Amino acid sequence: MTPDIDTLVLDFDAGSLLALNVILALIMFGVALSLEVEDFRRVAHRPRAPLVALSAQFILLPALTWVLTLVLAVPPSVALGMILVSTCPGGNMSNFFTLLGRGNTALSVTVTAVGTLLAIVMTPLNVTFWGGLSADTRAVLTSLHVNPMDMVTTVLLVVGLPLVLGMAIRHFRPRWADRVVRPFKVLGLVLFGLLLVVAFHANLDIFAVVIGVVFLPVLLHNAMAWGIGLGSATLARLPREDRRAIGTEVAIQNSGLGLVLIFAFFDGLGGMAVVAAWWGIWHIVAGMAVAGWWSRTPPLRGAPPCAE
């Protein structure tokens, strides 16, 4: 079954892709409703922790992901799916898990916001660079004629535009933003979950074929992401609350954005799509487990308080 994985294409029509784009935009809009310009100024005033997080997110994780794909010798589409997921920004669930795990939630929110903006350029750049280093994954990129600038445009429309609109509303209509921020977040996540369930049901046969191929790579990949985030923050001698925030931010990826790009630019290639979909499930399981464990440990005395 493994040799056929790169020929598998998921059943995901234009209407489903449009729905996925709209849902992801709603999620990003909901996140942006809780962001202010001050969140970005915080990076300029205290850049050390955010720089560690963003370096781990956009430099170390994609590079070591490429190495992991070589070590595991996974099929080309699985390798490219792992690379794509590793280059996505942190998902908004990272903020929730950081709060639950008694980490520095203000840092988590800041890194999510800045990382989302950086992803407009860094995600297409990383995909084409690391995907182009190996002959097998380069062949996939070449055969599908993936244009980095087209990816930039897609990320800008699906992620960047909702982020700017949400922050504008937060600035000019803060009371309205306060009222609708939670409903927007919940609505987006519920719709995203429903869409994944429908897509999973429509492609059950394909998932049955490839789940055995992607289960272990995704598990190891996510564990490596936790290690990169926590290890980088530890080497930088950051406080425990910051280490928890950065570890979570690197390990909880925006797999929804990954799926958008896979169906928009890779024709829903089976191995890639299943990697992104399974990552979206697994990182929630891992995030809940790690945050639950951390929640048993009280914050250090004198540590910065967590804030939403």
Please give the pLDDT value at position 56: 96
DSSP states along 198-258: HHHHHTHHHHHHHHHHHHHHHHHHHHHHHHHHHHHHHHTT--HHHHHHHHHHHHSB-HHHH
Domain count, the chain: 1
Distance, in Å, from the CA atom of 198 to the CA atom of 262, rounded to the nearest integer, reads 17
Please give the pLDDT value at position 126: 93
- Looking at the domain assignment, is residue 299 inside a domain? no
Please give the pLDDT value at position 51: 93
Cβ contact 196:36 at 8 Å: no
With tokens 């062949």, the residue in question is: 139
- Looking at the domain assignment, is residue 267 inside a domain? yes
How long, in residues, is the chain? 308
- Looking at the domain assignment, is residue 89 inside a domain? yes
Residue 258, domain CATH: 1.20.1530.20
- Looking at the domain assignment, is residue 308 inside a domain? no
Phi, psi torsion values for 101, nearest 5 degrees: -90, 10
- Looking at the domain assignment, is residue 277 inside a domain? yes
DSSP states along 70-87: HHHT--HHHHHHHHHHHT
Please give the pLDDT value at position 307: 38
Cβ contact 251:222 at 8 Å: yes
Distance, in Å, from the CA atom of 189 to the CA atom of 154, rounded to the nearest integer, reads 20
In this prediction the pTM is 0.79
Please give the pLDDT value at position 304: 44
Per-residue pLDDT of the chain (308 residues; tens, 9 = 90+): 444 666 666 666 666 667 777 777 777 787 778 777 776 676 667 789 999 999 999 999 999 999 999 999 998 889 999 999 999 988 767 877 887 888 887 788 788 878 888 888 898 899 999 999 988 888 888 776 666 777 777 777 777 788 888 888 988 988 888 888 778 777 777 777 777 677 777 677 777 777 778 889 999 999 999 999 999 999 999 999 899 999 999 999 888 788 888 887 887 777 888 888 888 888 888 988 998 899 887 655 444 444 33
Element housing 59 (H / E): none
- Looking at the domain assignment, is residue 297 inside a domain? no
Containing structural domain, residue 287: 12-291
